[in-house]
Structures are given as structure tokens and as C-alpha cells.
Amino acid sequence: MVPRDVAGLIEAAKAARADRGTAARLRRLLDLTTLNGDERPAEIGALCRDAMVAEVAAVCLYPSCLPQAKRLLEGSGVRLATVAAFPAGGDDIAKAADEARAAALAGADEVDVVAPIAAIMEGDIGAVGELVAACRAAVPAGTVLKLILETGTLERPDRITAAARAAVMEGVDFLKTSTGKAPEGATLDAAVALLAVIAEAEGQVGLKVSGGVRTADEAAAYLHLAEAVMGRDWVSPERFRIGASSLLKDLHRVEGA
């Protein structure tokens, strides 16, 4: 459960530092990401090779890159993630579900779908449940479904909490902070809000932190937070991820120091 002293919890997380062991743990919790939209085959190839050598949890890329990445990652143990309704998260639930279905058919093990942000801002929390239910029904059993809440745009903790609870009620697998495309990405405050909902769900839902996490120490802060709220044993690739494009380089630096 979330400690009563949330401010103290966040300050302790900010003070966390990554040593070699922590960097190695974080590497295996990483969704190595490229979502620029102009990736060339050579770049996808390099990303997949880096992912396999580093033994990260997953790679996350646009649906158009799935066929190549699927071939390269076959048998490696690195999971394949992609996005739907990305990055704006519109109100067309049927379209989002169709994108999720197509992604799964193209080989995605995991689909990160953007929540209907405008609807949430207008108080229509029900749209979140409708989206998750539609996407859940659209993808095969076993496909991991992550909901991107764009917490920096939602801003208010009550909005974040209400949307997260609605998603959990409809069977989402992970709550994710951000697309990485909005002005504000992940924050420790937003992560605490999501972890509180996850704790309510008895830890049966995961957390993915994404958006602006670039250094090993920044990642260590979120790891500390997750462990403080949920316990060390809860933190695993099945329940905790960090999505980032440049973090791996700094993790390697710390591991090699």
C-alpha cells in the first residue's frame, strides 16, 4: 500500500542512485523504444540486436515495423510491443480496437493503447472502460494490454485515479504514464497515483513508466517507488516496465563502471 507520507516517499525515491546491480535489474525491465515515425530498416535491425544482447523485456515500435522486428526477435525471449491510437488518443474506440487487433495479428505480444484523453478531460471516465473492453475483446488471450494515460496532460490526481480505476475494472494489464510525445512525461507524483490504484487491485496490474526517463538514476527513482509501495518481489518484467529510447546506454555505462 502507499505510505501516508507521500512527500517523504517521493523524496526518498529522488535520492535513489543506480549501482551496477540496480542497472542490471533495470535493463531487464526495459521496453527499448523507438517511436520517431521515420525509422529505417537498418535502425530497426540495430534496435533489435541491442535488445537481444541486453536481454531487455521488450522492444516497442510502430506497427509498420512489426514484421521486420518479429523476424529478428524470433526465439530471443524479447517481447514485441507496439502502439494503438497513438499518440493523440482520440474518441474513436472502434478504430483503436481495430488497430490493436491488427497489431496482434502482425505479431505484437503487447499493445500500448492511448486513453481517450479529451473524453477524460471532459469528465467522461466511462470512455476509458469502453476503450479497454473493446481492445481486450479485439486481441487474442495472452496479449498484454497497456493503457497510456498521458498523466502530464490529465494533471489532476483525481482524473488520473478515476481513469486508472476504470481501466483496471475492464481488465487492463498495465497502466502506463505517458506517450513520450506530450510536453510533460512521467513524474514521480503520477507514478504514485497509479501505484495506489495498482495496490487497490492487489498488484494484479502492472506499471509502465515512460516519457523522459533517460538516466540510470532517474530510472532507479521509479524502481525505488515501485518497491516501496508494492514490495521488491512484485517488481518483475510481468509487472513493472520502463519505456525509453536512450536509457539503455546509461545503464550500460553504470554496469561497466
Q: pLDDT per residue over 41-97, tens digit each?
A: 999 999 999 999 999 999 999 999 999 999 999 999 999 999 999 999 989 999 999
How do residues 99-130 score in pLDDT, each as one tens digit? Answer: 999 999 999 999 999 999 999 999 999 999 99
Whether residue 251 is predicted with pLDDT greater than 70 in this model: the reply is yes
Beta-bridge partners for 243: 31, 210
CB 168 within 8 A of CB 139: no
Tell me how far apart the alpha carbons of residues 33 and 208 are, in angstroms, rounded to a whole number.
12
Instruction: Note the pLDDT of residue 36.
Output: 94
Q: Scan for cell 538514476, then name that residue.
A: 217
Instruction: Note the pLDDT of residue 4.
Output: 80
Q: Looking at domain 6-256, does it have CATH number 3.20.20.70? A: yes
Beta-bridge partners for 115: none
* pTM higher than 0.95: yes
Angle of helix 126-138 relative to helix 93-105, nearest 10 degrees, comes to 30
CB 42 within 8 A of CB 19: no
Tell me how far apart the alpha carbons of residues 223 and 211 are, in angstroms, rounded to a whole number.
15
- Around Cβ 78, how many Cβ atoms within 10 Å? 23
Q: Give percent of the chain above pLDDT 90.
A: 97
Catalytic residues: 112, 176, 208
Q: Scan for cell 494484479, then name that residue.
A: 204
Tell me how far apart the alpha carbons of residues 93 and 245 are, in angstroms, rounded to a whole number.
28
Going from N- to C-terminal start, the domains of the chain cover 6-256
Q: Scan for cell 535502425, then name that residue.
A: 43
